[in-house]
Amino acid sequence: MNIQKIISTLILVTTLSNLALAQNIPSPEPDETTKNMRILPPMKLQPGEKDPGAALSPMKLGQRAPFTGVLLSPVAVANVIVEFESFEERLHIEVMRSVSEERAAGDKRLSDANAGCVADKKELQANLDASKRETDAYKTELKNIKDSQPNPYIWAGLGALGGAAFTLLTVFAVTQVTK
């Protein structure tokens, strides 16, 4: 930013240093003045002409210019002065515009990232909920299978009673046969 400011100031000083005012000459239209100010022809000294350096020479109608340079009308001088005086304000406006554009772009990137995070969170939550439902279904199925199985203690008791009854019948039958 400082380099632009310095370059603008140097261009302005160079332009103002080669300034020669002429009176009572109709000024061109502002659009033409602006065009002419932005596209200046290169300054070439005539053979034998000395470089006047930074010179300001007011002129009267019909007077010859004392040196080669840029002749500006009062409107052109006013434009140069306005450009110079409004540089800080235009720079501030341009900086604020750039800052607001970057802030908007940053806000958009942030909102896009937040939207992505929210979508990812919802997807992960849906996967977690599905896993919980599946786990609950497996637990319920396991409980049902355990409940439907016969009690092993009852079977052990019935087996013991059956074994005891078989043993008693065998003893009774053997004793009856051996008598």
- Tens place of pLDDT per residue across the chain (179 aa): 577 777 777 676 666 565 544 444 455 555 554 444 455 555 666 777 776 665 666 777 777 777 667 777 777 778 888 888 889 998 999 999 999 999 999 999 999 999 999 999 999 999 999 999 999 999 999 999 888 888 888 889 999 999 999 999 999 888 988 87
Does any domain span residue 165? no
Does any domain span residue 127? no
* CB-CB contact of 16 with 22 (8 Å): no
The DSSP H or E segment spanning 21 is strand 19-21
* CB-CB contact of 78 with 41 (8 Å): no
Does any domain span residue 69? yes
Query: What pLDDT score was predicted for residue 41?
Result: 55
CA distance 162 to 58: 137
Q: How many domains does the chain have?
A: 1
Does any domain span residue 35? yes
Does any domain span residue 28? yes
Q: How far is CA 46 from CA 6, 69, 98, in A?
A: 30, 11, 46
Query: What pLDDT score was predicted for residue 36?
Result: 46
Domain membership of residue 36 as a residue range: 2-85
Amino acid symbol at 87: F
The two most distant CA atoms of the chain are separated, in Å, by 169
* CB-CB contact of 27 with 74 (8 Å): yes
Looking at the whole model, is its pTM more than 0.85? Answer: no
Counting DSSP H helices and E strands in the chain, the numbers are 5, 2
* CB-CB contact of 72 with 20 (8 Å): yes
Which residue in this structure is represented by tokens 């500006």?
Answer: 72
Q: What's 63's DSSP letter?
A: P
